[in-house]
Amino acid sequence: MANLKIVFVLYPGVTHLDFTGPHQVLVRTPGAEVIVASLGGQDIEAEGLVFTRLADLAQIERCDVLCIPGGFGTTEAMQDEAFMAQVRRLGAGATYLTSVCTGSLILGAAGFLQGREAATHWAWRELLPGFGARVSEARVARDGNVITGGGVTAGIDFALVLLEELAGRDYAEAIQLGLEYAPAPPFNAGRPELARPEVLAAVKARMAAAIDGRAEAAAEAAGRLQPA
């Protein structure tokens, strides 16, 4: 695809691997312009890292691929109408609507997941149906032009799936080889059904503080999608 424009949308509280993992892959897309943007071009702090010299979302006229990473800042981002207005504007003209982790909740809040199958981090899957989405437990889910990745590290898998779509399987496999992406984790604990019960309980306990606030924000965002 000639003159391809890929836009990553950042916001305060984004999880940096949700963005940098896919970026590492997609920046190698032939003929693509990869833009990293935020509302007003503001610097974005993400778990001690600061991303700067970002494009202003409002100044980007269009994109072919819109990618929304996730993070604990998703809750506030869904409630930021100025931010959501830019997501809706760019997404309305995009060829592909994509996300990693809880970025799919932002796609849902923008109205792009109604009737679509989508993935997200396992801890937040129950929020997707509120946006009219069908929940996928896959590491990468595709429904038409909507391609969504599961939690955090699934962003690399997602990006390779998208790269195959954009540049062909041979090229995507070559990039995978060049990046030596051959996961062999030291622990079989990467999904809730695989983790030991005590590990799963500890992770759920750490996330508990965010659950009510995010569920409320998601409900409010979903309510704004309903006809008056």
pLDDT score at 2:
61
DSSP states along 13-33: T--HHHHHHHHHHHTTSTTEE
Q: How large is the angle between the packed helices 154-167 and 16-26, nearest 10 degrees?
A: 30
pLDDT score at 219:
87
Q: Are strands 117-118 and 44-46 parallel, antiparallel or unpaired?
A: unpaired
Burial class (CB in 10 A: 0-12, 13-18, 19+), 135: middle
Which CATH topology does 4-225 take? Rossmann fold (3.40.50)
- What is the rounded CA–CA span in Å between residue 135 and residue 117? 6
pTM tops 0.75, yes or no: yes
Helix (H) or strand (E) holding 212: helix 197-225
Query: Where in the sequence numbering do the catalytic residues fall?
Result: 101
Q: Where are the domains of the chain?
A: 4-225
Instruction: Strands of the chain (E only): list them.
Output: 4-9, 32-38, 44-46, 49-51, 55-56, 65-68, 96-100, 117-118, 134-135, 140-143, 146-149
pLDDT score at 228:
40
- What is the rounded CA–CA span in Å between residue 68 and residue 105? 9
Decide: 27 and 160 in contact? Cβ < 8 Å. no
Q: What is the mean pLDDT of each run of 10 residues along the chain (228 residues)?
A: 88 97 98 97 96 98 98 95 98 98 97 98 95 97 97 97 98 98 96 95 88 83 74
For residue 178, what are the CA distances in angstroms to 34, 127, 165, 169?
Answer: 19, 36, 18, 14
pLDDT score at 9:
98
